[in-house]
Amino acid sequence: MLILILRRLLVAIPVLIIVASITFFLIRLAPGGPFDSEKVVSPQVLKNLNEVYNLNAPVSEQYFDYMVNALQGDFGPSFRYPGRSVSEMILTGLPVTLELAMYAVLFATILGLIAGITAAVRKNTFLDYFPMALAMLGICMPTFLLGPLLLLLFGIELELLPVSGWGDLPGDKILPAITLGAAYAAYIARLARGGMLETLNQDYIRTARAKGLPEFKVVLVHAVRGGLIPVIAFMGPAIAGLIGGSFVVETIFQIPGLGRFYVEAAFNRDYTMILGTTIFFSALIIFFNLLSDLTIALFNPQARSS
Amino acid sequence: MKIFPFILLFVISCSKSISPVDSGFENQIMHIANGSEPQGLDPHIVTGVPEHRLITSLCEGLVITNPKGGPNLPGAAESWDISDDGLVYTFHLQPLAKWSNGEEVTAEDFVWSWMRILTPSLGSQYPDMLYYVKNAAAYHMGEINDFSLVGIKALNSKTLEITLEQPYSFFLKILSHYSTYAVPKNVVLAHGSIDDRNGAWTRPGNFVCNGPMQLKSWELNKSIVAEKNPYYWDAEKVTLNEMHFYPIVNESTEDRMFRAGQLHATYSVPQEKCPVYIKENNPNLRIDPYVGVYFYRINTQNPVLKDKRIRQALAYSIDREQIVKRVSQCGQSPADSFTPPGIDGYFPDTQIPFDPELAAQLLTEAGFPAGEGFPKLEILFNTQEGHRKIALAVQQMWQKYLGIEVELVNTDWKVYLSREMVGDFQISRAGWIGDYEDPNTFLDLMRPNRGNNKTGWENEKYDELIIKANAQSNQENRYAVLREAEKLLIDEMPVLPIYIYVRQFLLSTDVKGWDPNPTDTHHPKFITLER
């Protein structure tokens, strides 16, 4: 197990360097620069600005300087926000994004598992058809539609929950977590149903039933262990996706998370911010994939031995 | 399943909370949507409207914008004298003017601050605002290194003398712009050098300025809270205890927040909502005048578009009345000039007729009868629904009245800017918001060698007229010459003015003193929350 972890971590380093290098050159190929604005600055001012941020140097030199600093954990200053470092901005937005993702995962997992397991156990009944139809709707409905719909209903019409903010007003975290988690709840429900159906047909389940175990024990102790492996495999990339894809929800609900920095950095050509957040999100994806593989290994002896 | 009663209980308990607008009224705390996250709070470095709103609350220039429009009012300066030749301005600072840390605001602070913005290595984007001052441009360009040669001097701690290159009657107007504000020398230097763009002096806890409010907290992408500054020279007049500025880029989000009682004022109104609010006479909708013009730039270096008759044909075949009525639909007025009429009493006397017959005739004279043989035209605009709708309308009008083929090209903001910058366009969407309340902020734009001209149009006569106008000490004479320049510009048509901007936003009826003014500047000391 330890070797597996070490091997995966060692592979992660060149992956991150490649990601950083490709991003570094791609953003410089994009037309427009960080200091382009509707009010044109004079060539003199532009020259001064480029000097301040070392953009006058040859690209190879800029690349080398950046990589050396990045390897030491210094992602440089933000071009868009003078006086702020990229690391500082990532650390400001990260806790919010992580918290939002955590609530969304919690919501998705609880709802998805209840719906999925119930549907599998009560196959071809209303308790199967209804949650699965809802799940299909959840997968199809984009967050930019679900979010405003929930806001109009619970925020404006019923006046039960705030329509924006994060930690300012009571209950302002409920709707963003539901909006972000809904699609994942739907996936989890379908995966859990599929996995459970397959496991419930296995011989060892039949043996358990034959031995006279109560049905809830058969399902929750024996079947769940094998039936949820697809869900666990899905969780790693899903959590990374939740963190990286929270931009829409953060914008709709006015949440000061990392997703907004990431997308705005691209629009602003804030080179250092784009690079810093890309490297950071890549590292997160690698980490959660590793975590997911390790969890599968814990649940599945076959995977452990391979 | 037992969890649901608890969730229900929690949700119901939420509904009992008092809205921020209601609690704001009781505690005199105003909640304002403020567009995008501000770049920063350093008046010498930032550009942009959200920053303008914050800085005019936290700092104060020698003069402040008149909340009802018209001549500027005393700010950090109590009064001023202007020499007979219009060259020397002597400002007498407020005796009680202090920084928010309690230290005195001195004339020397202004001298040092102007030296700072003119220091090339700071990379300020607004040094040209001070180019009217004697030798300021030369110092910024590195032609002279001795700042004492620049026309700004502290005669004593409370008297400041400014000498101009030539008389500029609009100079006082410029002084309410944040780029001319003073910054606290001691505090700036405590956190970096004079040319340090990344100094930490603007952070909460460090930030010191001389405005009616002071910085209390700043949470990135969440809010900036400003509280009343007890050291402000006119603190007695300030009734607001706090102002909360929220960076909200999504117009629908701020619209919902307003309707849910979380905001006193929005930054804008979603375009599709504006006609609805107008129709239902929404008492919160405000449509205020604004010094801005929406126009199309024409690349006059283009072999076809360099012909004035073609530019005129394009202009005369746009039904601007229909565009404001059916497309923009939010109280904008069709533009008959490049400068919005009414800026500080300036009314251009130009007309841009909607005359498809004349347009078709001009096109024929230029060698393209009924658009035959006319190459395909491209309208470049940055991706935004509002711009697309206007471009579509213009495309249809040109196809219908001139018989020419038009293609719409939309790109990301930075790509659009870079294409405009290098002249890689035929027609491009543009907008210009005046920096100060004077026609010069528009007409100066179209002079040759101005970076924001971007049309390739260079007209010596126009340039001479602007120079001649600005040398006039009598305002009426000056405006007469500017009108002549405007007429020349509209005849030459390197730009196609489409409509005059308005500021549309939602404002709670609790807010008093948020008066309409052309630069949309709202000094906190005039704002109160009342019911």
Q: How confident is the model at residue B17 (pLDDT cuts 50, 70, 90)?
A: low
Side-chain half-sphere CA neighbours of B251 within 13 A = 13
Mean pLDDT is highest, among A137-141, B179-183, B411-415, for B179-183
**Six-digit token pair at B222?**
């969440």
Cβ <8 Å between B256 and A48: no
Cβ <8 Å between B431 and A38: yes
- Residues of chain A contacting residue B418, judged by C-beta atoms under 8 Å apart: 31-33, 36
Which residues, listed in sequence order, are joined to residue B408 by a DSSP beta bridge?
A: B379
Dmax over CA atoms of chain B, in Å, equals 85
Q: Is the pLDDT of residue A303 over 70?
A: no
What pLDDT shows up at residue B2?
A: 46
Residues B440-463 pLDDT 10s:
999 999 999 888 899 999 999 999
Option in B12, B203, B418 nearest A36 (CB): B418
Q: Which amino acid is at B71?
A: P
Q: How confident is the model at residue A306 (pLDDT cuts 50, 70, 90)?
A: low
Determine the number of helices (DSSP H) and then strands (DSSP E) in chain A.
15, 0
The answer to whether B88 touches B73, Cβ cutoff 8 Å, is no
DSSP conformational letter for B165: S
Which of A29, A39, A117, A166 to mutate: most B Cβ within 10 Å? A39
Option in B13, B42, B253 nearest A252 (CB): B253
Q: Give the integer Cα–Cα distance in Å for B470 and B478.
A: 7
- Could you tell me which residues come within 8 angstroms of residue B314 by beta carbon, excluding any fewer than 6 positions away? B298, B359, B398, B402, B427, B493, B496
What pLDDT shows up at residue B338?
A: 97
Q: Does B11 touch chain A (CB under 8 A)?
A: yes
Order of all β-strands in the sheet with B406-411: B333-334, B495-506, B285-298, B427-433, B377-382, B406-411
Which phi and psi (to 5°) does residue B410 adopt?
A: -110, 140
Q: Helix, strand or coil for residue B348?
A: coil
Q: Average pLDDT of chain B?
A: 93
- Residues of chain A contacting residue B203, judged by C-beta atoms under 8 Å apart: 83
Which of B256, B267, B295, B424 to mutate: most A Cβ within 10 Å? B256
Tell me the percentage of chain B whose pLDDT exceeds 70.
97
Which residues, listed in sequence order, are joined to residue B511 by a DSSP beta bridge?
A: B529
The answer to whether B313 touches B360, Cβ cutoff 8 Å, is yes
**Six-digit token pair at B215?**
């910085």
Q: Is the pLDDT of residue B12 over 60?
A: no
Q: Does A160 touch chain B (CB under 8 A)?
A: yes
**Mean pLDDT of all residues in B64-69:** 90
Q: Give the integer Cα–Cα distance in Å for B53 and B69.
A: 16
The answer to whether B266 touches B255, Cβ cutoff 8 Å, is yes
* Least Cα separation, residue B123 to chain A (angstroms): 5
DSSP A69-106: HHHTT---B-SSSTT-BHHHHHHHHHHHHHHHHHHHHH
Q: Helix, strand or coil for residue B81?
A: strand
Identify the closest residue of chain A to B412 by CA–CA distance.
A267
- Could you tell me which residues come within 8 angstroms of residue B173 by beta carbon, excluding any fewer than 6 positions away? B72, B344, B436, B437, B438
Q: Average pLDDT of chain A?
A: 88
Residues 422-441 of B with CB under 8 A from A: 430-431
Side-chain half-sphere CA neighbours of A84 within 13 A = 27
Q: Does A44 touch chain B (CB under 8 A)?
A: yes
- Residues of chain A contacting residue B451, judged by C-beta atoms under 8 Å apart: 40-42
Which of A28, A114, A163, A250 to mutate: most B Cβ within 10 Å? A163
Q: Give the integer Cα–Cα distance in Å for B250 and A69.
A: 35
Which residue did the predictor score with more confidence, B55 or A43? B55
B388 CA to centre of own chain: 23
The answer to whether A254 touches A21, Cβ cutoff 8 Å, is no
Cβ <8 Å between A52 and B121: yes
Identify the closest residue of chain B to A150 by CA–CA distance.
B256
Query: Residue length, chain A?
Result: 306
**Mean pLDDT of all residues in A186-194:** 93
Residues B182-233 pLDDT 10s:
999 999 999 999 998 888 899 999 999 999 999 999 998 899 999 999 999 9
Cβ <8 Å between A40 and B198: no
Residues A47-81 pLDDT 10s:
888 888 888 899 999 999 999 999 888 999 998 88
Residues B236-274 pLDDT 10s:
999 999 999 999 988 999 999 999 999 999 999 998 999
Q: Give the integer Cα–Cα distance in Å for B508 and B495.
A: 38
What pLDDT shows up at residue B290?
A: 93
Q: Does A152 touch chain B (CB under 8 A)?
A: yes
Residues B375-409 pLDDT 10s:
999 999 999 999 999 999 999 999 999 999 999 99
Q: Is the pLDDT of residue B89 over 80?
A: yes
Q: Give the integer Cα–Cα distance in Å for A132 and A123.
A: 11
Indicate the helix (H) or strand (E) that contains B408: strand B406-411
What pLDDT shows up at residue B1?
A: 42
Predicted complex ipTM:
0.82
Cβ <8 Å between A81 and B415: no
Q: How confident is the model at residue A36 (pLDDT cuts 50, 70, 90)?
A: confident
Q: Which amino acid is at B513?
A: G
**Pairing state of beta strands B406-411 and B223-228?**
unpaired
**Pairing state of beta strands B159-163 and B88-93?**
antiparallel
* Least Cα separation, residue B152 to chain A (angstroms): 22
- The closest of A263, A290, A260 to A94, measured between CA atoms, is A260
Could you tell me the pTM of the whole model? 0.89
Side-chain half-sphere CA neighbours of A36 within 13 A = 20
Residues B500-525 pLDDT 10s:
999 999 999 999 999 999 889 999 99
Q: Helix, strand or coil for residue A25?
A: helix
The interaxial angle of helices A271-299 and A86-121, nearest 10 deg, is 30
Which of B119, B197, B222 to mutate: most A Cβ within 10 Å? B222
Q: Give the integer Cα–Cα distance in Å for A94 and A88.
A: 10
Which residue did the predictor score with more confidence, A221 or B362? B362
Query: 10 Å Cβ neighbour count for A67?
Result: 15
Which phi and psi (to 5°) does residue B154 adopt?
A: -95, 110
- The closest of B376, B441, B439 to B402, measured between CA atoms, is B376
What pLDDT shows up at residue A305?
A: 60
DSSP conformational letter for B104: B
DSSP conformational letter for A122: T
Q: Give the integer Cα–Cα distance in Å for B208 and B511.
A: 27
Which residue did the predictor score with more confidence, B514 or A242? B514
Q: Sign of the CA dihedral B350, B351, B352, B355?
A: negative
- The closest of B156, B53, B146 to B524, measured between CA atoms, is B53
Option in A38, A48, A174 nearest B417 (CB): A38
Q: Does B200 touch chain A (CB under 8 A)?
A: yes
Cβ <8 Å between A156 and B248: no
Cβ <8 Å between B11 and A155: no
For B99, counting Cβ atoms within 10 Å of its Cβ (0-12 exposed, 13-18 middle, 19+ buried), the class is buried
Which residue did the predictor score with more confidence, B471 or A27? A27
Q: Give the integer Cα–Cα distance in Å for B83 and B101.
A: 35
Residues A116-131 pLDDT 10s:
999 998 888 998 898 8
**Six-digit token pair at B276?**
């609805």
Indicate the helix (H) or strand (E) that contains B502: strand B495-506
Residues B404-432 pLDDT 10s:
999 999 999 999 999 998 899 999 999 99
Residues 454-483 of B with CB under 8 A from A: 454
Cβ <8 Å between A80 and B414: no
Which residues, listed in sequence order, are joined to residue B378 by a DSSP beta bridge?
A: B407
Phi-psi region of A138 (alpha: psi -120 to 50; beta: other; left: phi over 0): alpha
Cβ <8 Å between A162 and B124: no
Residues B311-362 pLDDT 10s:
999 999 999 999 999 999 999 999 999 999 999 899 999 999 999 999 999 9
Order of all β-strands in the sheet with B213-219: B29-33, B242-246, B223-228, B213-219
